[in-house]
Each structure stands twice: as structure tokens, then as C-alpha cells.
Amino acid sequence: MGKRILVQRKGRGAQQFTSPSQKKISPARHPKWAPGKTYIGVITDLHHEAGRGAPLAKVRFNGESQPLFMVAPEGAYVGQEVECGDDAALANGNTLMLEHIPEGMPIYNIEASPGDGGKFVRASGLTASIISSDKTRTIVKLPSGAQKTFSPRCRATIGIVGGGGRLEKPLLKAGAAFHLASGKARKWPTVRGDAMNPVAHPHGGGSHQSPSHPTTVSRNAPPGAKVGHIAARRTGRKR
């Protein structure tokens, strides 16, 4: 008998495939929201969190007993004042509702629904922009180029997410790749299926390293065979 292939072990959700919570600092979110109220805070520290490309800013808001962590904008510094509320200034690092932000201004950490703390555009170096806005909806162009509709009362932070250009520096050695993967829900290193023995993977074996058969499989394939192009609409080069 062979062993369970990688996709089977991933599906079971063992410890090596889960994100290490002990390496996390805190969730990054907007402060609590109250109509007509503006919170003023000061960035007291900047942190790196394992598994997160963007830096975290530790902010102490007035009236809050505990500091809050937010996704730091590019150009943030210790001692910088940030505001969150309806009357916040249109400045880097300040958080406002989409209906108060002019079109074309760079924004990030956009809420999916009012008050959820921010869900969209949070990775390092990313930014989005408002295309149009009215009383019922706001259309935002995301970094992917897609356009998404939000409620005008959803909040977003002005600026560009810090940590841009992170992928431009090469890892240089396997140890760096190991520590990068150890902070995420990712198993490293991984071995190609066609480099394995036939008992260990459907693509293994043969006189040379090749699957030697079409790799498109059914959506309903059993876990041991569900590798390759799963339920692909098409394969091959576009001509």
C-alpha cells in the first residue's frame, strides 16, 4: 500500500496545514464606529507579523482602554496622528466612510459591510480607488482591475498599504523560504507528483517525469485521484 497523497492530508486539516496562531499579534481592523463621532489616535509602534506582508501600526485612540492594530499605510511613522470618523481629514492613514471620500483617491482596507472592520485590499503595496458614488452604492476599482459595489457607509482607509515591493527582493536561500512558509497555512517544501513513485501519486512513475495521461479530473473524483486540472473547462495553450 502507498501513503495518502498531499491533497488528502491537506483536506484533513492537520497541524502542519493550519496557520500558527501563536505567531500572530492581533487582528487588524478599523476602530468601533459611532455616527457623528470622530476618533483621534496616535501610532505608538510599527510591527511585523509572521505570515502578513503588510506592517501593522499600533494605534492608541482617545477613549479606548486598549490599543488597536491597523494595517499601516505607506509612509506611516511613530507619533503620526490618525483619525477615524465622519469628520476625519482627507489625509494618509485616516479612515472615513466611502461616501465622504472623493473619486480617484487611493484607499485600502475596505469594509464588506458597515462596521465589520475591513475585508478588502489589505495586502502589502495594494490600493483601490472609487470610480463613482451615490446615495445607494459606491463602485470601487480593486487592484485586480475588477469593479465591486459597496455600501456608501462602508469605511476605508486613505493611502496605499505599506510594505510595497516585498516580492522584488529574492529569497536567496531555502531557509528564508522555510520561515516564509512557517508563518502561513502552507506546507513547505512540496514535491511534484510526477517526481514520485506510482504508488504515491497518480502522476508518478514511468520512464520519464510526465503524468503520461490527461490531468483533467472530475469534480466528483475521490480524494486520492483529485489532482491536476480539477473540473477544467479547457486546457492547453490558447491559440
- pLDDT per residue as tens digits for the range 178-193: 999 988 888 889 899 9
pLDDT at 1 over 70: no
Provide, rounded to the nearest whole percent, the portion of the chain with pLDDT above 70. 99
Among the listed residues 219, 206, 200, 121, the one whose alpha carbon sits nearest the alpha carbon of residue 161: 121
178 assigned to some structural domain: no
CATH number for 216: 4.10.950.10
> CA-CA distance, 206 to 211, in Å (whole number)?
8
Count how many domains the chain has: 2
Please indicate, yes or no, whether residues 222 and 139 belong to a single structural domain of this protein: no
Domain end marker among 163, 183, 200: 163
Q: Is position 3 within any domain?
A: no
141 part of a folded domain:
yes
* 8 A C-beta contact, residue 180 and residue 189: no
| CATH at 137 | 2.30.30.30
Tell me the percentage of the chain whose pLDDT exceeds 90.
72
Question: Which of 122, 116, 118, 127 lies closest to 49, judged by CA?
Answer: 122
Q: Are residues 58 and 139 in the same domain?
A: yes
Average pLDDT over residues 199-217: 92
Model confidence at 12: pLDDT above 80: yes
Q: How far apart are the first and last CA of the chain?
A: 42
Q: Are residues 144 and 216 in the same domain?
A: no
Q: State yes or no: pLDDT of 167 exceeds 80.
A: yes
Mean pLDDT of 108-130: 96
169 in a structural domain: no
Same domain, 147 and 77: yes
Do 147 and 90 sit in the same domain of this protein? yes
3 state SS of 149 = strand
57-63: long-range contacts (C-beta < 8 A, 24 or more apart)?
Answer: 57/82, 57/93, 59/31, 61/31, 63/39
pLDDT above 90 (res 14): no
151 and 201 together in one domain = no
100 and 60 assigned to the same domain: yes
pLDDT given for residue 20 in this prediction: 87
Is there a domain that residue 171 lies in? no
Q: Is residue 82 part of a domain?
A: yes
89 lies in the same domain as 155: yes
Can you give the pTM of this predicted structure?
0.83
Q: pLDDT band for position 17 (50/70/90)?
A: confident
pLDDT on residue 64: 77
Spell out a b/e string for 187-200, using b for 16 or more CB atoms within 10 Å of the CB, else e.
Answer: eeeeeebbebeeeb
Burial class (CB in 10 A: 0-12, 13-18, 19+), 117: middle
Average pLDDT over residues 204-209: 93
Residues 45 and 141 in one domain: yes
Give the domain extent around 231.
191-239
* Residues 131 and 218 reside in one and the same domain: no
pLDDT on residue 194? 93
Q: Strand 155-158 relative to strand 216-217: parallel, antiparallel, unpaired? A: unpaired
Has residue 12 been placed in a domain?
no
> Do 100 and 50 share a structural domain?
yes
207, part of any domain: yes
Q: Quick one: pLDDT at residue 2?
A: 64
| 153 and 221 both lie in a single domain | no
The predicted-structure confidence for 21-77, as pLDDT tens digits, reads as follows 888 999 999 988 777 788 899 999 999 999 999 999 999 998 778 899 999 999 999
pLDDT at 112 (0 to 100): 96
Q: Is 87:38 a contact under the CB 8 Å cutoff?
A: yes
